[in-house]
Amino acid sequence: MSTTETIATGTDTTTGTETTTGTETTTGTETTTGTETTPADSSERTRGPRIGENAPRPDGVPKVNGEFAFGNDMWIEGMLFGRTLRSPHPYARIISIDISKALAMHGVHAVITADDVPGQKLYGLEHKDQPVFASEVVRFHGEPIAAVAADHPETARRACRAIEVEYDVHAPIVDAELSITAPPIHPDGNIFRHMFIRHGHPDSPESEGVVAVEGDYEIGMQDQAFLGPECALGIPLEDGGIELYVSTQWIHADREQTAACLGLDPEQVRMTMAGVGGAFGGREDISLQIHTALLTLHTGRPVKLQYSREESFFGHVHRHPAKMWYRHSARADGTLAKIEARLVFDGGAYASTSSAVLSNASCFAHGPYNVEHALIEGYSVRTNNPSCGAMRGFGAVQTCFAHEAQMDKLAAALGIDSIDLRLKNALKTGDRNITGQLLSGVVPVAELIERCVAHPLPAMGEVGEMMGRPGGAGRTADAHHIKRGFGFAIGWKNLMFSEGFDDYSTARVRIDEGQNGPVVTVHCACAEVGQGFVTLAQQIARTVLGLDEILLHPADTQVGSAGSTSASRQTWMSGGAVQQACEAVRTQIFASLAATHGVDPETLAIQDDHIVSVDGTFSIPVEDAVANKTFEATEVNRHVQTVRLDADGQGDAHVSFAFAAHRAVVDVDEELGLVRVIDITTTQDVGKLLNPRQALGQIEGGIAQGVGLAVMEEIIVTNGKVRNASFTDYLIPTTLDMPTVTIAALIEEPEPGAPFGAKGIGEPPTIASTAAVAAAIRNAIGRDITRVPVRPQDICL
Amino acid sequence: MTVVTATSLDEALDALAGDPSAQLLAGGTDFMVEVSFAHRRPASIVTLRRVDELKGWWRDGDTLVLGAGMTYTELQAEPFLDVVPGLAQAARTVGSPQIRNAGTIGGNIATGSPAGDTLPVLVALDAVIVLQSAADGERRVPWNEFFLGPKRTARRGDELVTAVRVPVVHGRQEYLKVGTRNAMVISVAGVALVMDDDAHTVRVGLGSVGPVPLRAPAAEAFADSTIDWATMTIPDGGAAQFGALVSAAASPIDDQRSTAAYRRHAVGVCARRALQRCLS
Ligand SMILES: Cc1cc2nc3c(=O)[nH]c(=O)nc-3n(C[C@H](O)[C@H](O)[C@H](O)COP(=O)(O)OP(=O)(O)OC[C@H]3O[C@@H](n4cnc5c(N)ncnc54)[C@H](O)[C@@H]3O)c2cc1C
C-alpha cells in the first residue's frame, strides 16, 4: 500500500525552497512542515537558544511575509472540494432532505447526509450528543445537514444550494434560565451540568458578615476569532483507512472521534497537523474532520474542506455567555465572610466542554481570596444558541469579571481601599480554596497585587492627538470630552486538565548521525497553535542534551497523544514529556560512555555541551560522545491524579494554579460612550521564564483578547440567529485599540512538580484584563457597568 | 467568466454597452467582499484601475471635479486637506492603509451604502455625480436624485460614474465618524459639517442614520440664523440645540452594529461638536 502523492504546503522557512509534508507514507521519510531550524551548512552552525533565552519563532517571519503554509494552502493533485450545507434555522424538525438534484449535477462526486455515517452518529469531547449531520432535528443556526464533494468549490457551493430540505420550524429556546425548566430540546435533556460548591457553613447565621453587596453580571458571547479558518485534507488509503491533514488543537482526540464515526479502528485514521492560524480553544472540538473523512472515503479521492470566514463562525464553539448573580458579605475589618453566587452558563445546542467550563467557573468563582463560607451554584444549560466550549480562560474569565466587580463594590460599601481589601483576603501558599484543596504550590497573590499597583501610572500628559483618543480615527472627541479612569483586577485558574481526567503527553526523542553531526529529532503530537512549543521543544532538548541541531518532527498520530493545546498545559505536559525523553536518552548516552570509556554513569552530567564527571576527571563534547550512534526514547508525562468534585463541590480537582493581575487605564468619551484603553500594567506568576520573547507575545495577545471582550467582541445572536458572522461586524482590536502593555513584574518562583518550575502562561493574561478594563470604565464615569462587552449605549444612554 | 481590462474610458463604456450585465471593478474593496460571501457572482467584469480618465482631479471654475478612480490615500492628503478638508478627513477614517490605497471614491458612491464615509460630506457639499454611457454620453445627477435607498442608486447598468463635482467652499469643514472600534470600522453614525463663510450657511450631511445619506434642513436653517457670522460665535445653548435638531433629522434603525436610539443620540452629539470646532 502506498500513496505516492506529495502535498505542496509552501516553502521551507529556513531555506526558502519548496518542501512537502507527508511524502511517501510507506517509507516514513522524515518530512517537514516548515518548523525546522536546521541550518543548511554546519560550518555556520550556531549555538541555539537554551531554556531561559529568547528563542525566535521559526514561523514568525514567514507568517509576516505570507509564506507560512496554513491549512488552507494544502493542495494535492486530483483533490475534490468539500462543502457543508447548514441549517438556516436555530430549531426545526427536518421533514425531508432531497439530495437528488445536487447529486445529478455535473462535477458533483458525493452528497452525504446522516444516512452515510457508517459508525457512531454522534460525537463530542466530553459527552457524545452532537450528530455528525442533523437528520431529525436541527438545534442551532448553522448546524450541518449534508456535505458535498465536487471538482470545483463553486460546483460544491451550487450543489449545496440544490439540496432541498423541508423544515418544520419551531420557536427556539434561547434563554438559558428558561431552558432549565423548559421541555427538553435534546434526548439528553437541557442541563449539561448542575453543581454546587459548599464551603464552610454558608447556611449558618454566623456566615453572615456586617456588610453585604449584591450584583447581577452578564457576559456576551466571545469568539476565538483565529485568523486561519478551519481546513482539512483527506487522502484515502488502500487499506480502507484515511490520512487526514488538519489544523487542530488535539489530533488524537480528533482521531478517536473521527474513527468512531467512520466505523474504523483509530489506527486506520492517520492524522498530521497542518499549519494552524490560531486556535484559542476553538479547535478543540470537531468541526470539519469527520465530514472531510466521510467525503474522502465516500469518493475514494482526496478531499479538501475549508471554511470561509463566515462558515468558521458557525463551525466552531464559542466562549460561553453567562449570567451571574453574586452576593459578598464581609466582616467589619474586611474579612470575607461569605460569597454566594449563582452562575448560569449558556452552552448552546451541544455539550462540547460545557461541563468542565462550568466546573472551572465555579471553582474560581470566589477569586484568589480566602473566604470563610461560600455557596456557589452553577448551571450549564442547553439552548438553541450556537454551541459554546473552550476558549482561553475557560470559565474563569466569566466569573473573574463578576468577582472583581464585587470586590470593588464591597470595598466601597466597607469604606476600605479596594486594593487593601484584596490584600487582606489574598490567598497564599498553604491556604485552601473553596473546594477544600490545599494550595501547596506557588500562590503569589499579594505580591502580584502589590507590584502591579506600585508600578507608576502612565503620565496623564496631553490627551494626545485625535487618533489617540476614544473614537480614534473617527475624530469624535476633543480633549475636554475625555474622562480618565483606573481599574484593577486579579484572576486565577487551573493549569492542565482537572477533575480526574487522565491527562498526559508523549514524546519521542532520537539522536541520529546527520550530515554534519548529530541531529536530535523530537517527535511529539503537541499542536503548535502559536503558543511556542516549536521553540520550547528545541530549547529543552538543547538544554538537557547539550546538542544544537534539533529537528522537530511534524505533529502526527505516529506517536502517542500529547493531549490538547489548551488549559495552559503544553509547556508542562509536552515540555515535560520532551524533557523526560531527553533525560532517558541522556541516560543511554551515559551508559554507552560507561561501556566505552569505563566511567561511572552515575557520576556524569552534561554541562556546557560537554559530558563531564563530577570529579572533573572526565570530559568529552556531547557531539563526540554520540557520534555515529543512535539513541531513542519515548516517554509519557502524566501529572498528579486529580478527583472529580463531590456533591458539595469538594475535592482536589486541580493540579496547579496560575495568577495574573492587571491594572487598566482608560479614557472614556462619556457622551458618546466610546472607550480608549490606554495602558494595561500587568504582573504574572510564571514560575520560570523559558522563552521571554514568547512570554511577552502570550501576555500581549492575551490582553488583546481580554480588551476585546471588554469593549467590542461579541457574537450577536438574536432569537438563535447569528447576525455578525464576519470580521466586518465581529470586531476585534486593531493596533489602535491595543493599549500599551507594561509588565511590572513576572514572578519567577519555581512551581514544584513543573518542568523547570515553569507555569503555563497562555491563559492568565486573558482572565482579569477584561475585568480591569470594566473597572476602569466604572471609575471614569462613576457608574456601574455590569455587562461586557461594554457597548457605547451602556455608557451614554 | 469574462474580464475586460479597460485601458480607456471608451473601452470601458463600450464593454458596458456590449454587456450591460457586466460588473465594474475598481479597487475591489466592496466588490470582493461580496464575492467572498457569495452575494455577488459576476459572469463578466470590466476593470477600471487602468482607465486614466477616471484618475486625478481638476478645477472647473469654483467646482472641484474629482475622478471616480481617486483613492482615499490621495484624498486624505494635500491639496484636499485645504480645499475640501471634510472629504479629506472622511477619507482618513476609511478602513486601513491597504483599503485606502485600493478603495476609490467612485466605488463608495456607486455602492451607495448609507454607511459610506464620503457620502455625508458629498451630501453636505451638494455634490453632483457625473455619469457617462456609450449611448447617452454624460449625465449629471444631483446627490439627492442619485441615492435612492440602501445600496440603490440612479446609475443605469450601462453607465459609469466618472467623477463627482463639488463646490469649493470658503469655510471650515468637519467629519466625525462613530464606530465601536478606534479604526477600521464601519460607521455607526457619521456627521459632516460644511460652513460657508461667504454665504453664511451651515450644511450638514448624515451617514448611517437613514436608508440614504441625509441632510438636516431644520438644523441648518437654525444654525444659519443663529450664528453671529461677524464674530463666528453662537449664543449659549445654540450648539446644543443644533445637535438636537440634527438628532431629530435622523431616521436610524436597530441592527447588529448599533441601536436606533444610540445612532440618533450620536449624530446629535457629533453635530454639536462639529459646530463647536468650526466656531472655535
Ligand atoms: C476592510 C474594509 C474596510 C472598509 N472600511 C470602510 C470605511 O471605513 N468606510 C467606507 O465608507 N467604506 C469602507 N469600506 C468599503 C469600501 O472600501 C469603500 O466603499 C470603497 O470606496 C469602495 O471602492 P472600490 O474602488 O474598492 O470599489 P469596488 O469594490 O471596486 O466597487 C464597489 C461597487 O461600485 C461599483 N463601481 C466601482 N467603481 C465604479 C464606477 N466608476 N462607476 C460605476 N460603478 C462603479 C462596482 O461595480 C461595485 O458595485 C471598507 C471595505 C473593506 C474591505
From chain B residues 31-50, the ones with a CB under 8 A of any chain A CB are 33, 36-38
The phi, psi pair for A759, rounded to 5°, reads -95, 155
Q: Which amino acid is at A375?
A: L
CB A773 within 8 A of CB A738: no
| pLDDT above 80 for B28 | yes
| Average confidence (pLDDT) over A148-157 | 97
What is the predicted pLDDT for the residue at A24?
31
CA distance A306 to chain B (A): 13
pLDDT single digits (tens) B113-149: 999 999 999 999 999 999 999 999 999 999 999 999 9
Report the topology of domain A73-171+229-276+283-311.
Aldehyde Oxidoreductase; domain 3 (3.90.1170)
| Average confidence (pLDDT) over A277-303 | 97
* pLDDT level of residue A441 (50, 70, 90 thresholds): very high
Among all chains, which residue has been given the C-alpha cell 464601519?
Answer: B186
| Average confidence (pLDDT) over B169-180 | 97
What is the predicted pLDDT for the residue at A255?
98
Q: Which of B3, B19, B23, B30 to mutate to test the pocket of ligand 1 (most atoms within 8 A of CB)?
A: B30
- DSSP assignments along A416-476, one per residue: --HHHHHHHHB--TT-B-TT--B--S---HHHHHHHHHHSPPPP------GGGSTTGGG--
Q: Kindly give the distance from the C-alpha atom of residue B107 to the centroid of ligand 1, in angstroms, as a whole number.
A: 4
| Average confidence (pLDDT) over B212-240 | 98
| Average confidence (pLDDT) over A131-147 | 98
Q: Which chain A residues contact residue B184 at CB under 8 A?
A: 473, 734, 736
Nearest to A649 by CA among A334, A362, A250: A362
The torsion defined by the Cα of B32, B37, B40 and B41, in degrees rounded to 10, comes to: 100
| Average confidence (pLDDT) over A8-14 | 36
Question: Where do the domains of chain B lie?
Answer: 2-167, 173-279
The SS3 assignment for A794 reads helix
Report CA torsion sign: A189, A190, A193, A195.
Answer: negative
What is the predicted pLDDT for the residue at B234?
97
Q: Kindly give the distance from the C-alpha atom of residue B161 to the centroid of ligand 1, in angstroms, as a whole number.
A: 13
Mean pLDDT of chain B: 97
Class of domain A322-498+646-796: alpha beta
Q: Which amino acid is at B153?
A: T
The C-alpha cell of A778 is what? Answer: 466604572
Residue bearing the CA closest to ligand 1, atom 28: B28
Q: pTM of the entire structure? A: 0.95
ipTM over 0.85: yes
B173-279 falls under which CATH superfamily? CO dehydrogenase flavoprotein, C-terminal domain (3.30.390.50)
- Letter string b/e over residues A58-89, b meaning 16 or more CB atoms within 10 A of that residue's CB: bbeebbeeebbbbbbbbebeebbbbbbbbbeb
Which of A27-31, B4-8, B79-83 has the least mean pLDDT?
Answer: A27-31
The vertex-B45 CA angle with B42 and B46, nearest 5°, equals 155
* pLDDT level of residue A23 (50, 70, 90 thresholds): very low
What is the predicted pLDDT for the residue at B36?
87
Give the CA radius of gyration of chain A.
27
Nearest to A244 by CA among A556, A24, A553, A6: A556
Determine the residue of chain A that is closest to B30 in CA distance.
Answer: A728
Report the topology of domain B2-167.
3.30.465
* pLDDT level of residue A464 (50, 70, 90 thresholds): low
What is the predicted pLDDT for the residue at A625?
96
pLDDT single digits (tens) B84-102: 999 999 999 999 999 999 9
* pLDDT level of residue B280 (50, 70, 90 thresholds): confident
Q: Which chain A residues contact residue B262 at CB under 8 A?
A: 673, 792-793, 796-797
Do the domains at B2-167 and B173-279 have one common CATH topology?
no
Q: Which chain B residues contact residue A471 at CB under 8 A?
A: 178-179, 182
Ligand 1 pocket by C-beta < 6 Å: which residues? B 23-31, 33, 48, 68, 93-95, 99, 102-104, 106-108, 110-111, 116-117, 160-161, 184, 186
Angle, helices A289-299 vs A251-262, to 10°: value is 50
What is the predicted pLDDT for the residue at B136?
96
Q: Which chain B residues contact residue A729 at CB under 8 A?
A: 186, 256-257
* pLDDT level of residue A45 (50, 70, 90 thresholds): low
Question: Where do the domains of chain A lie?
Answer: 7-68+504-638, 73-171+229-276+283-311, 322-498+646-796
What are the residue ranges of helices labelled H in A655-732?
692-711
From chain A residues 729-758, the ones with a CB under 8 A of any chain B CB are 729, 731, 733-737
Pick the atom of ligand 1 nearest to B118's CA: 11
Mean pLDDT of chain A: 93
Task: Mark yes or no for CB contact A672/B178 under 8 Å.
Answer: yes
| Average confidence (pLDDT) over A60-66 | 93
Nearest to A10 by CA among A275, A307, A309: A275
Do the domains at A73-171+229-276+283-311 and A322-498+646-796 have one common CATH topology?
no
Class of domain A7-68+504-638: alpha beta
What is the predicted pLDDT for the residue at A466?
87
Pick the atom of ligand 1 nearest to B119's CA: 11
| Average confidence (pLDDT) over A576-592 | 98
| Average confidence (pLDDT) over A152-179 | 98
Whole-number Cα distances in Å, A211 to A216, A389, A422, A782, B252: 18, 36, 16, 21, 46
Task: Mark yes or no for CB contact A672/B181 under 8 Å.
Answer: no
| Average confidence (pLDDT) over A527-541 | 97
| pLDDT above 80 for A10 | no
Euclidean distance between CA atoms A574 and A552, whole angstroms: 13
| Average confidence (pLDDT) over A325-346 | 98
* pLDDT level of residue A462 (50, 70, 90 thresholds): low
| Average confidence (pLDDT) over A625-648 | 97
Angle, helices A445-454 vs A418-425, to 10°: value is 160
Q: Indicate the residue of A157, A724, A797 with minimum beta-carbon distance to B262.
A: A797
Euclidean distance between CA atoms B220 and B265, whole angstroms: 18
Q: Is A481 on the interface with B (CB under 8 A)?
A: yes
Pick the atom of ligand 1 nearest to B161's CA: 42
| pLDDT above 80 for B24 | yes
Q: Kindly give the distance from the C-alpha atom of residue B32 to the centroid of ligand 1, in angstroms, as a whole number.
A: 9
Angle, helices A396-414 vs A354-363, to 10°: value is 20
